[in-house]
Amino acid sequence: MGWEARLDETVLITSLLSFGLFLVLHLILLRYLAWLKAPLVIGGSTVTGLVFCGLVLFKKLSFSPWLGGLTGLIIYSLLVLLYLSLVFGMGEAAVRIRLLREIDAKPSRTATLAEICHAYNAEKILELRLGRLVSAGHLRFDGERYHLGNRILLIQGLATKLLKFLLGIKPN
C-alpha cells in the first residue's frame, strides 16, 4: 500500500471524525445550553471541527500536508454544509421563504394577514405536495385513495425525528 492510499484513508477518516465531533458538540450544546443562540453554537461547533481536522491532518500527513490537509478541510466543510442545509434548517426555512415570496409578489410588497392566508392556502399546498409525492413514486394514487409507494421518505422522517429528539426539539 503506497502513500496515496494512506493519504486517502487518513483524509477521509479525519474528515468523518471531525464531522462527528461537530455533530456531537452541536447536539450537546443545543440540547443542554439552550440559552446559547443557534448561530453561535453552529459557528463554534464548526470552528472546533475545522481546527481538529486541520491539526490532525497537518501533523499526521508529513508526506503531503497541504494537499491532504486542504482536501480534508473541504470534505469536512461540505459535510457540515450538507447537514445544516438538509437536516438542521430545511423545514423552517421553506415556510419562511414561502411567506416572504408571497409578500414580495404583491405589487405593493405588503400584505394583510387575510391576504397571506388566502395565498398560503393549505388545500392548494397539500394538492401540490401530494402531486410531487406521486410523481416521485413515494405515493400511488388509484383515483380515490393514496397508497404508500417508496418508503425512503419514511426512513428520512425517522432520522429527522431522532435528530429532533437529540436536539431537544419538541414534536409538532
- Each residue of 7-39: pLDDT tens digit? 778 888 889 999 999 999 988 887 788 777 777
Percent over 90 (pLDDT), the chain: 14
Q: Classify 42 in phi/psi space as left (phi over 0), alpha (psi -120 to 50) or beta.
A: alpha
How confident is the model at residue 90, as a pLDDT?
A: 65
Asked whether 14 and 60 are in contact (CB, 8 A), the reply is yes
Question: Given a cut of 70, is residue 43 above it in pLDDT?
Answer: yes
Beta bridge partners of 141: 146
How confident is the model at residue 25, as a pLDDT?
A: 92
Q: Which of 47-56, 87-96, 153-162 has the highest mean pLDDT?
A: 47-56
Q: Which residue has the cell 500536508?
A: 65
pTM of the predicted model, to two decimals?
0.54
Query: What is d(CA 40, CA 25) in angstroms, rounded to the nearest whole number?
Result: 12
Query: What is d(CA 31, CA 14) in angstroms, rounded to the nearest whole number?
Result: 25
Q: What is the pLDDT of residues 87-124, one digit of tens each?
A: 776 655 676 777 888 888 888 989 888 888 887 777 87
